[in-house]
Amino acid sequence: MTTLVWDYLAEYEEERDDILDAVDHVFRSGRLVLGNSVRSFEEEFAAYHGVAHGVGVDNGTNAVKLGLQALGVGPGDEVITVSNTAAPTVVAIEGTGAKPVFVDVRAEDYLMDTAQVEAAVTDRTRCLLPVHLYGQCVDMEPLREIAGRHGLAVLEDCAQAHGATHHGRSAGSMSDAAAFSFYPTKVLGAYGDGGAVITSGAETADALRQLRYYGMAERYYVVRSPGHNSRLDEVQAEILRRKLRRLDQYVQGRRAVAERYAEGLGDTELVLPRTTPGNEHVYYVYVVRHPRRDAVIEALKSYDIMLNISYPWPVHTMSGYAHLGYAEGSLPVTESLAGEIFSLPMYPSLSPDVQDKVIDALREVLRTV
Ligand SMILES: *Cc1c(COP(=O)(O)O)cnc(C)c1O
């Protein structure tokens, strides 16, 4: 059987009764849109993070976009983020009419280099948008300090960091608002699309509820424009409620997989993920580095192992973002990583046998490339 970086079928077999029960629960409830399951999930998801409010939305991209809009970001503003991210982070910024401004990442953990942020602040800057990429958190203390000094909002992109902590605090609880995706591959994944924003600000939460519901404060009366139809689906919300109870277990499963890779590959040329002090990593993706990455990936295909690169192109080098005006070489760490990184299979139900097959194949391939 082909080995892929992510697969949910074994997990589904284990959880099938519960998932199907969740679907039936909603279908029998008499309320198919914005019902009790969305409301309960919002409360439970916010409580998990120790923040006051949760607002379910239709996907992670819109979680970032509506989160920014609820914090007052709009046309003409600038939002400081990284180019080493999933393109949707940047899609969401541009969706508000604001301009993305990039700083480089650190070579040790591939995360926002917060030492570069202050120099990127202009009088148009409105918000800082750290991305807790691959499963661990950006250093939030310097960002909060810069934001405080310049009167900026901070929004965390937590699409890859469900369950991660930073000096004991949950990813998503360290800023004005935090955006999550429940795309199936994520650490907490739905059976389809989903997203949420959490915030301790009551006004921000109200704004989010309006923004996702056509801009309406109550039925049929618009108070905010532009509005969106960005509701979290009721069925996905009920599935997510069930899965949220197992989130810590999923994270433990991912950590066990990471430990086995560290044992099996720690003495090879591969650069394995490093957990930055103060962080607890949830290994959304297990990103490794090798100077001849393309040859390694190619050779593994003959073992029926199909790996992935997250991400092969830094956002600022894509043709769709040429208008942002970043020359090649402008973000050197981000650009050099993109040529060397690749991801090993990582999901909680990955069996030790399959994982050992990957480790053995990699050890063989690394001797020859
Ligand atoms: C997945 C992801 C998103 C987008 O989430 P969708 O639910 O796919 O829209 C945004 N930011 C990051 C960092 C992501 O990994």
Report the pLDDT value the prediction gives residue 338, as an integer from 0 to 100.
Answer: 97
> Containing H/E element for 306?
strand 305-306
Cβ–Cβ < 8 Å for 305, 356: no
pLDDT confidence of 247, banded at 50, 70, 90? very high
Is the pLDDT confidence value at 1 over 90? no
> Containing H/E element for 57?
strand 53-57
Q: Two tokens at 333? A: 């760490």
Domains and their CATH numbers in the chain? 9-103+111-244 (3.40.640.10), 247-366 (3.90.1150.10)
pLDDT confidence of 229, banded at 50, 70, 90? very high
Indicate which atom in ligand 1 lies nearest the CA of residue 183. 7
Task: Tell me the CA end-to-end span of the chain in Å, nearest whole number.
Answer: 24
Beta carbons within 8 Å of 90's beta carbon, 6+ residues apart: 81, 83, 100, 315, 321
Cβ–Cβ < 8 Å for 45, 198: yes
Residue 320: alpha-carbon gap to chain centroid: 21
Q: What span, in angstroms and rounded, lies between the C-alpha atoms of 118 and 310?
A: 27
Cβ–Cβ < 8 Å for 68, 92: yes
Tens of pLDDT along 84-117?
A: 999 999 999 999 999 999 999 999 999 999 999 9
Indicate which atom in ligand 1 lies nearest the CA of residue 64. 10
Report the pLDDT value the prediction gives residue 44, as an integer from 0 to 100.
Answer: 98
Rg (CA), the chain: 21
69 lines ligand 1 (CB under 6 A): no
User: Which residue has a Cα nearest atom 5 of ligand 1?
Assistant: 60
Q: What span, in angstroms and rounded, lies between the C-alpha atoms of 1 and 305?
A: 9
160 lines ligand 1 (CB under 6 A): yes
Coil, strand or helix at 300: helix
Virtual torsion, Cα 214, 128, 44, 247, nearest 10 deg: 120
Tens of pLDDT along 269-285?
A: 999 999 999 999 999 99
> Containing H/E element for 189?
none
Tens of pLDDT along 133-183?
A: 999 999 999 999 999 999 999 999 999 999 999 999 999 999 999 999 999
Q: Two tokens at 282? A: 């949830």
183 lines ligand 1 (CB under 6 A): yes
Angle between helix axes 293-301 and 352-368 (nearest 10 degrees) is 120
Tens of pLDDT along 46-84?
A: 999 999 999 999 999 999 999 999 999 999 999 999 999
Tens of pLDDT along 285-318?
A: 999 999 999 999 999 999 999 999 999 999 999 9
Q: What span, in angstroms and rounded, lies between the C-alpha atoms of 81 and 104?
A: 9
Residue 25: alpha-carbon gap to chain centroid: 29
Place of tokens 């050890």: 363
Could you tell me the distance, in angstroms and rounded to a whole number, from the CA of residue 105 to the centre of ligand 1? 18
176 lines ligand 1 (CB under 6 A): no
User: Which residue has a Cα nearest atom 11 of ligand 1?
Assistant: 89
Indicate which atom in ligand 1 lies nearest the CA of residue 284. 15
Cβ–Cβ < 8 Å for 48, 79: no
Residues above pLDDT 70, as percent of the chain: 100
Q: What span, in angstroms and rounded, lies between the C-alpha atoms of 246 and 227?
A: 34
81 lines ligand 1 (CB under 6 A): no
Angle between helix axes 9-27 and 36-49 (nearest 10 degrees) is 130
Q: Is pTM, for the whole model, over 0.75? A: yes
- In degrees, rounded to 5, the angle at the alpha carbon of residue 172 between the alpha carbons of residues 105 and 48 is 145
